Structure 1
Amino acid sequence: MKARNLFNFGPALGYFFRKNDPNRHTNFNLRSMHFINKLSMAMFLVGLLVMLFRYVL
């Protein structure tokens, strides 16, 4: 396994910017679940960037 595969954030970033599917039924629970998922991934990526920044300095 190469290091490039370990740091492939393409699917995670695609989750943030994908469009809504008009054929899929949505409700409050589903919207809140997706919001919490996006928030947790954003917090993880920010934490990862902070750790990398501290390691470099």
Structure 2
Amino acid sequence: MSNKIKEFFQLGEVGGYFIRVFRKLDPDQKSNFNLRMMHGINRISILVFLAALILWIIRRLV
């Protein structure tokens, strides 16, 4: 039973990306302008989505 619950709440590759996108890049890893801009846009879109989700939940509860 406990193993099934752990499997249900695993983040997987996509969830790992949502956490990884907010970390600083490894200094040993080569980075270019396009990659940094892509991660920046992804950060903004994740934050806007979470803000909209929170507002939607608050409006449903009130």
With the length of structure 1 as denominator, give the TM-score of the two structures.
Answer: 0.70
* Structure 2 gaps, min length 5: 10-14
1:55/1:14 Cα in 2 relative to 1: closer, same or farther (>3 Å)?
A: farther
Query: CA 1:24–1:14 in 2, change beyond 3 Å: closer, same or farther?
Result: closer
Equivalent pairs, count? 51
Aligned partner of 1:47 among 52, 56, 59: 52
State the structure with bigger RCO (CA 8 A, min sep 6), 1 or 2. 1
Aligned residues with identical type, % of pairs: 39
In structure 2, C-alpha distance between the alignment counterparts of 1:55 and 1:46, rounded to whole Å:
14
Q: CA RMSD of the aligned region, Å?
A: 2.5
Distance 1:14 1:28 in 2: 18
TM-score (norm 2): 0.65
Structure number with larger C-alpha Rg: 2
- 2 CA distance for matches of 1:13 and 1:49? 18
